């Protein structure tokens, strides 16, 4: 099919939201974007509502109310899935396209994070391409870098900011001094956050993306359901202010790190030193560090969403389908993919930020210090700072690396101290 006539490649696009319309505009403007010649044409589309107002012309394209029917259409060569979601019609349509002998390009991180290994095996067994560059970091070629450019290196860790909505909210909270709820409402008004922002602010969007990057980096299968995920809903303005006083900025960091006990994949609000490149990635930007045994540190940054950047990534995958249809879906063939995410190592050590709200009374600092010492947790920095708009006295400290069990036990003992007015707040310190 693909390669029989490179002069014309027929594309079917399911999903005509922001990215789908951006892709149609890109192809209409530059139908010959594929290196080496050839013309790309969108010949069929599908969307939830046929009569919706869109700023693209679909009048000359075949219309399908059902994306699965579009995926099976014999008059397309490549099926582009921009519907979203790990189950339901998106999964059915991608499976139908592969069953029908069509290459697939998708921007669906949930689908690849949850079912990528199964779909990869299905595609490779039929000699078909399955590409998903646009699923992670929009127009930034993070997938291509890990799958292709660094195939000769041994990756030790990948970590970064993979969700623009959360990054925008944290950036604006710091800049404006407004609380989480007000900035979230502002982000929704401006279009940076969805009406239902749970996947973004809850960390699951970033969790799906880091599961995919971990699979590419470490030769495993993506396992989105096994990622440790904590969102930014509980990040308070007081934490942003106090972290700044300690020389840190709070970012939602997705990380995959290889250790002796396997690969740990996580998403957490994390304190980053102010002079670190990730701390300077503001607004809706995405940014990623890649640590390789040979190349050392690589840093990439750019827009993680939006019609233009994401459509460009989809277009790049379409070009790759033509040039490299037999390349493995991940870095290794699907049959050789090992286990991806492993359990968190029981004896892993990390430093943390702890914020305590206490009564202003004698002996508080001594009680806190004694409790930490009893738990085997050593203080790295300590700050007691009265804030005018807070009735209790905040005490914040950072710790030297300690085992998770020691941190958990110490936090429970701190919460039980009579001087506490709130439960302790814990966040991780960067290990990047």
Q: Which residues are catalytic?
A: 209
Sign of the Cα torsion 390, 198, 313, 65 reads negative
Nearest to 396 by CA among 423, 364, 357, 430: 357
Encoded tokens for 400: 């030297």
Task: Tell me how many helices (H) and strands (E) the chain has.
Answer: 13, 18
Helix, strand, or coil (residue 14): strand
CA–CA distance from 323 to each of 35, 78, 135, 152, 196 (Å)?
9, 13, 20, 21, 39
What H or E segment, with its residue span, contains residue 21?
Answer: helix 18-29
Q: What tokens appear for 383 in the block? A: 């700050």
Query: What DSSP designation does 32 have?
Result: T
Distance CA(195)–CA(204), nearest Å, equals: 16
Token pair belonging to 249: 């900025």
Give the span between the Cα atoms of 323 and 327, in whole angstroms: 9
DSSP helix, strand, coil percent of the chain (3-state; round to 5): 35, 25, 40
Provide the β-strand partners of residue 13: 45, 80
Tokens of 386: 């009265």
């Amino acid at each position: 099919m693909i390669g029989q006539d490179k002069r014309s490649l027929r594309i079917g696009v399911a999903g005509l939201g922001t990215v789908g319309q951006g892709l149609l505009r890109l192809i209409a403007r530059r139908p010959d974007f594929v290196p080496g010649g050839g013309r790309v044409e969108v010949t069929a589309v599908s969307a939830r509502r046929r009569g919706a107002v869109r700023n693209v012309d679909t009048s000359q394209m075949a219309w399908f109310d059902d994306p699965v029917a579009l995926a099976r259409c014999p008059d397309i060569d490549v099926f582009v899935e921009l519907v979203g979601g790990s189950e339901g019609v998106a999964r059915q349509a991608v499976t139908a396209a592969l069953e029908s002998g069509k290459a697939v390009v998708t921007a669906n991180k949930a689908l690849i994070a949850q079912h990528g290994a199964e779909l990869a095996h299905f595609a490779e067994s039929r000699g078909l391409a399955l590409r998903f560059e646009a699923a992670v970091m929009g127009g930034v070629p993070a997938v291509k870098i890990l799958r292709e450019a660094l195939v000769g290196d041994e990756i030790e860790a990948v970590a970064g900011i993979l969700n623009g909505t959360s990054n925008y909210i944290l950036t604006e909270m710091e800049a404006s001094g407004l609380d989480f709820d007000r900035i979230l409402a502002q982000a929704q008004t401006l279009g940076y956050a969805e009406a239902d922002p749970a996947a973004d602010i809850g960390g699951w969007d970033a969790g799906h993306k880091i599961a995919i990057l971990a699979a590419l980096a470490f030769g495993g299968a993506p396992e989105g359901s096994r990622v440790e995920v904590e969102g930014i809903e509980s990040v308070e303005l007081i934490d942003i202010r106090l972290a700044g006083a300690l020389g840190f900025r709070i970012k939602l960091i997705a990380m995959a790190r290889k250790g002796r006990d396997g690969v740990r994949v996580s998403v957490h609000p994390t304190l980053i030193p102010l002079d670190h490149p990730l701390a300077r990635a503001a607004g809706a930007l995405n940014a990623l560090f890649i640590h390789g045994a040979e190349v050392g540190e690589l840093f990439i940054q750019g827009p993680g969403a939006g019609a233009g950047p994401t459509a460009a990534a989809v277009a790049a995958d379409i070009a790759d389908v033509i040039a490299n249809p037999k390349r493995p879906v991940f870095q290794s063939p699907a049959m050789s993919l090992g286990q991806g995410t492993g359990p968190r190592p029981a004896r892993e050590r990390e430093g943390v930020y702890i914020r305590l709200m206490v009564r202003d009374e004698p002996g508080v600092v001594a009680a806190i210090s004694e409790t930490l010492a009893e738990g085997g947790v050593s203080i790295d920095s300590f700050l007691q700072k009265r804030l005018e708009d807070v009735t209790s006295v905040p005490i914040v400290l950072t710790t030297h690396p300690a085992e998770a069990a020691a941190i958990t036990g110490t936090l429970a003992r701190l919460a039980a101290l009579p001087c506490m007015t709130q439960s302790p707040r814990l966040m991780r310190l960067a290990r990047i």
